[in-house]
Amino acid sequence: MEQFLRRQIASEKEEIERLRAEIAEIQSRQQHGRSETEEYSSDSESESEDEEELQIILEDLQRQNEDLEIKNNHLNQAIHEEREAIIELRVQLRLLQLQRAKPEAQAQDDDEPERRPGTLEQAKPSPGRDRKETPI
């Protein structure tokens, strides 16, 4: 317990010494305040120049970002239109394939009526199917 308290006292003394040194440094700055103020003003001038330059760079980057966003939107629109065109072409291709398959299937049905009985009957449209019936 005694050793613990001695260590704590020693650390408190070190803290006191550190704070005294910090106070002395602050007082020294206050005495030389004029020279530091002059240095600060020259520093602040260069900082303001840096800030102006950074502001110009920021504005340029913002313009570039806006341009890129516009290009991105145009590209996204073009991609969307191309996808729609692909879908439309696929539908047309499928319709053509179905139209070509229909005569071939009918030709096969006409050539092979004996193999599949009743196929010819099903292929012929009935008079009732071709007409649209209107509800009364």
Lowest mean pLDDT among 25-29, 68-72, 101-105, 128-132: 128-132
Residue 108's pLDDT band (boundaries 50, 70, 90)?
confident
Given this model, what pLDDT does residue 103 score? 80
SS (H, E, C) 55-87: HHHHHHHHHHHHHHHHHHHHHHHHHHHHHHHHH
Q: Amino acid identity of 7?
A: R
- pTM confidence score: 0.40
Averaged pLDDT score across all residues of the chain = 78
Q: How far, in Å, CA of 42 to CA of 48, rounded? A: 10
Residue pLDDT, tens place only, 27-83: 888 877 655 555 555 556 667 778 888 889 989 899 999 989 999 888 999 999 999
Q: How far, in Å, CA of 130 to CA of 136, rounded? A: 18
Residue 49 tokens read as 């120049």
Q: Are 124 and 106 in contact (CB under 8 A)?
A: no
